[in-house]
């Protein structure tokens, strides 16, 4: 049972003079990448007790996590150390819900804000980094063709929301006819999380189509890799619903950094060389394709656009994130992707071109220097042709 005296609402906190409290974000580094409450200090949960010297003993310490669950436990620990500590009720999600609802109450201001957000994409600051790279990916990899009907799949995060706006912008240029459906699947979101997605779509002017499934309930009791199974099931549901709506393509918001991280993850954790492809034919849904038009856009530029427009999105809308041990992040079990992010950042300090080199490495594969590879499920080994190649070289020498 929650001790109400250990919680503080955002309204109560806002009434306090800023100099009387210290707001501390105890979420993991990956969560921080998706946004934070302005004015907060970031100290991850697993580091908090070792960094007590950074807390102000003479101020109220207000902790927040994603939903106010872990922050309550940490507030109790700080109380034991003599601090006046409380947990922010509802955490980051609760703050975000209240903020977005407040913004949407004033219809005129909301429309003005939507126009400003759209103008930002056309601005000198973002046009080249976002729109131009979006258009380049579409042209380079032939992702969009005349009369396509694309299901733009929106998870509620910064990447898919920006992708939706970029699709609207490219459709505005009207070089050829294609249709868009902005598709949101609700796999069992909590009411607050679904409201955040719907309200953000309203702020951005994205006319979303929502359909429901029970995927979260189906995978909740799976002990091994529930997130992986959830992702696979969600992809299948998206294909199926998009096809039912007459779409021939689904678009996902994976970006450049996802691509290079996937390459390294495959090598270091999967013992294989592979990449995240810009487009794929569906093996289970005939006539359907998956496309990734954000393929050439850098994550840092997406964050810059988000922060410039003071937008806040959910990292993960899963209602089990803070109660399922496989979803919770801590120092000992940080995600492999976050480890790879840190590795790339450290390599970049020595070689500023390392990211581009990783990206291009899978475009410059020399099969003559590869011991073995797979093609359409068939394994090929260099010894298969080695002796034959030697005989051909000897024959050419004899002929000359």
For 222-226, 253-257, 313-317, which range has the lowest pLDDT when averaged over its residues?
Answer: 222-226
Q: What's the sign of the alpha-carbon dihedral 90, 229, 219, 210?
A: positive
For 22-26, 95-99, 179-183, which range has the lowest pLDDT when averaged over its residues?
Answer: 95-99
Distance CA 191, CA 62 (A): 25
Short-list 329, 276, 117, 271, CA closest to 205: 117
Distance CA 85, CA 259 (A): 41
Distance CA 160, CA 321 (A): 20
Short-list 160, 167, 168, CA closest to 252: 160
- pLDDT at position 8, please? 94
Across the range 69-89, mean pLDDT stands at 94
- pLDDT at position 349, please? 96
- pLDDT at position 225, please? 59
Across the range 372-391, mean pLDDT stands at 92
Question: Residue 277 — left, alpha, or beta (φ > 0 → left; ψ -120 to 50 → alpha)?
Answer: beta
Distance CA 98, CA 281 (A): 41
Across the range 60-89, mean pLDDT stands at 94
Burial of 275 (0-12, 13-18, 19+ CB in 10 A): middle
- pLDDT at position 93, please? 87
- pLDDT at position 101, please? 81
- pLDDT at position 227, please? 66
- pLDDT at position 224, please? 64
Burial of 20 (0-12, 13-18, 19+ CB in 10 A): exposed
- For the cut 70, the answer to whether the pLDDT of residue 77 exceeds it is yes
Residues of the chain above pLDDT 90, percent: 67
Residues of the chain above pLDDT 70, percent: 90
pTM of the model: 0.83
Distance CA 150, CA 330 (A): 38
CA diameter of the chain: 93
- Beta-carbon-side half-sphere exposure of residue 267 (alpha carbons within 13 Å): 12
Higher pLDDT, 31 or 322: 31
Short-list 181, 311, 196, CA closest to 249: 181
- For the cut 70, the answer to whether the pLDDT of residue 131 exceeds it is yes
Distance CA 325, CA 350 (A): 36
Higher pLDDT, 12 or 187: 12
Task: Name the band, by pLDDT with cuts 50, 70 and 90, for residue 133.
Answer: very high
Short-list 313, 90, 89, CA closest to 206: 313
- For the cut 70, the answer to whether the pLDDT of residue 26 exceeds it is yes
Task: Name the band, by pLDDT with cuts 50, 70 and 90, for residue 325.
Answer: very low
Contact at 8 Å (CB) between 262 and 270?
A: no
- pLDDT at position 45, please? 94
- For the cut 80, the answer to whether the pLDDT of residue 138 exceeds it is yes
- For the cut 90, the answer to whether the pLDDT of residue 282 exceeds it is yes
Q: Whole-number mean pLDDT of the chain? A: 89
Short-list 352, 385, 349, 354, CA closest to 367: 385
Across the range 14-34, mean pLDDT stands at 90
- pLDDT at position 194, please? 86
Distance CA 55, CA 24 (A): 9
- Triad 324, 220, 243: Cα angle to 5°: 125
């Amino acid at each position: 049972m929650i001790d109400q005296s250990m919680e503080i609402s955002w309204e109560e906190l806002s009434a306090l003079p800023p100099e009387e409290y210290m707001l501390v974000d105890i979420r993991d580094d990956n969560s921080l990448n998706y946004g934070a409450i302005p004015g907060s200090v970031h100290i991850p949960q697993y580091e908090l007790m070792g960094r007590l010297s950074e807390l102000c003993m003479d101020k109220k310490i207000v902790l927040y996590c994603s939903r106010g669950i872990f922050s309550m436990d940490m507030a109790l620990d700080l109380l034991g150390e003599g601090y006046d500590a409380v947990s922010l009720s509802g955490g980051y999600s609760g703050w975000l819900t209240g903020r977005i609802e407040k913004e949407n109450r004033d219809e005129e201001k909301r429309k003005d804000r939507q126009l400003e957000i759209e103008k930002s994409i056309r601005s000198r600051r973002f046009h080249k980094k976002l729109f131009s790279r979006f258009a380049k990916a579409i042209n380079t990899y032939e992702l969009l063709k005349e009369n396509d009907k694309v299901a733009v799949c929106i998870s509620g995060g910064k990447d898919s929301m920006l992708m939706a706006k970029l699709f609207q912008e490219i459709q505005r240029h009207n070089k050829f006819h294609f249709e868009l459906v902005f598709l949101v699947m609700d796999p069992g979101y909590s009411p607050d999380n679904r409201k955040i997605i719907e309200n953000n779509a309203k702020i951005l002017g994205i006319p979303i189509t929502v359909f429901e499934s029970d995927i979260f309930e189906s995978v909740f009791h799976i002990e091994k890799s529930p997130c992986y199974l959830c992702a696979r099931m969600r992809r299948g549901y998206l294909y199926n619903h998009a096809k039912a709506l007459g779409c021939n393509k689904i678009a996902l918001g994976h970006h450049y950094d996802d691509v290079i991280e996937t390459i390294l993850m495959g090598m270091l954790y999967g013992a294989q060389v592979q990449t995240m492809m810009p487009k794929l034919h569906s093996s289970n849904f005939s006539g359907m394709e998956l496309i990734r038009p954000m393929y050439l856009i850098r994550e840092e530029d997406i964050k810059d656009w988000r922060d410039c427009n003071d937008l806040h999105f959910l990292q993960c809308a899963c209602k089990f994130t803070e109660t399922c041990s496989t979803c919770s992040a801590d120092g000992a079990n940080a995600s492999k992707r976050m480890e790879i992010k840190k590795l790339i950042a450290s390599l970049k300090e020595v070689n500023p071109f390392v990211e581009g080199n990783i990206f291009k490495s899978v475009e410059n594969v020399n099969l003559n220097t590869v011991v073995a590879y797979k093609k359409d499920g068939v394994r090929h080994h260099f010894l298969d042709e080695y002796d034959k190649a030697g005989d051909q070289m000897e024959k050419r020498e004899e002929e000359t």
